[in-house]
Amino acid sequence: EAQVTQNPRYLITVTGKKLTVTCSQNMNHEYMSWYRQDPGLGLRQIYYSMNVEVTDKGDVPEGYKVSRKEKRNFPLILESPSPNQTSLYFCASSLRTGLRVGELFFGEGSRLTVL
Amino acid sequence: AQSVTQLDSQVPVFEEAPVELRCNYSSSVSVYLFWYVQYPNQGLQLLLKYLSGSTLVKGINGFEAEFNKSQTSFHLRKPSVHISDTAEYFCAVSGRQAGTALIFGKGTTLSVSS
């Protein structure tokens, strides 16, 4: 089954304790992206990757890191989480057709709480 | 740069009534347009998309949207809604050039009651 898998789905952590949210897709998609969803703000892009070893900042990259060493994986790293990073996070992937990004396929989300 | 404005944050309707969720965008270049739906406690899934061609686009679950270039709008419509359509709906825009991100609106919560 074609899917985007995120882990963990739920996490409560404390300020400053490094954490990683994993994302894996089995559709051989070139494009992958991380979003955070907050009430009243919709989805905001954190980082995206057009291909292996190519990553770019989105609208709200501060406090996050990503890496794209393999095509299928795109982990999101919070080196020193803070309470303002409490949010619902979504990973998404897409088949990049030519120069444009196609339909996005989303994971089920990871709800993160930073105390 | 692109931006998206969803004009209504919440739309309450009764079952079997028609509904329109409004979306306006701004862009200095040609765009692709999308509507996504998020059911409670789930991720987003694509409802429909406009890439080129006919300005009236039909999607899943009986939804359709019309691309209006002169008014820079991409409103979503359904002639008769069901309780199961209760969800959050996101309009999104992407420029056609390489490396353009997909920009989402802030969402419209559609609440269908009996």
CA separation, residue B98 to residues A6, A64, A99, B29 (Å) = 27, 24, 5, 12
Confidence at residue A97, expressed as pLDDT on a 0 to 100 scale? 62
d(CA B83, CA A72): 37
d(CA B61, CA A3): 21
**Closest CA–CA distance from residue A80 to any residue of chain B (Å):** 26
Q: Encode burial over B9-45: b for 16+ CB neighbours within 10 A, e otherwise.
A: eebebeeeeebebbbbbebeeebbbbbbbbeeeebbe
**Which residues of chain A does B33 touch, with a Cβ-Cβ cutoff of 8 Å?**
none
**Closest CA–CA distance from residue B112 to any residue of chain A (Å):** 20
Confidence at residue A76, expressed as pLDDT on a 0 to 100 scale? 98
Confidence at residue A50, expressed as pLDDT on a 0 to 100 scale? 87
d(CA A33, CA A55): 9
Closest CA to B68 of B82, B59, B57: B57
- Strand-pair partners of B97: none
- Residues of chain A whose pLDDT is less than 70? 97-102
8 A C-beta contact, residue A36 and residue A60: yes
Put simply, the answer to whether A90 touches B96 (Cβ < 8 Å) is no
Q: Is the Cβ of B8 closer than 8 Å to some Cβ of chain A?
A: no
d(CA B98, CA B73): 23
pLDDT per position as a tens digit, B40-88: 888 899 999 998 888 999 999 999 999 999 999 999 999 999 999 999 9
8 A C-beta contact, residue A40 and residue A26: no
Q: How many CB atoms lie within 10 A of CB A107?
A: 24
Across the interface, of A43, A50, A106, the residue whose CB is closest to B45 is A106
Sort residue B18 into left (φ over 0), alpha (ψ -120 to 50) or beta.
beta
Confidence at residue B68, expressed as pLDDT on a 0 to 100 scale? 93
Q: Is the Cβ of A90 closer than 8 Å to some Cβ of chain B?
A: yes
Confidence at residue A63, expressed as pLDDT on a 0 to 100 scale? 97
Put simply, the answer to whether A101 touches B107 (Cβ < 8 Å) is no
In terms of DSSP bridges, do strands A10-13 and A110-114 run parallel, antiparallel, or are they unpaired? parallel
Confidence at residue B100, expressed as pLDDT on a 0 to 100 scale? 64
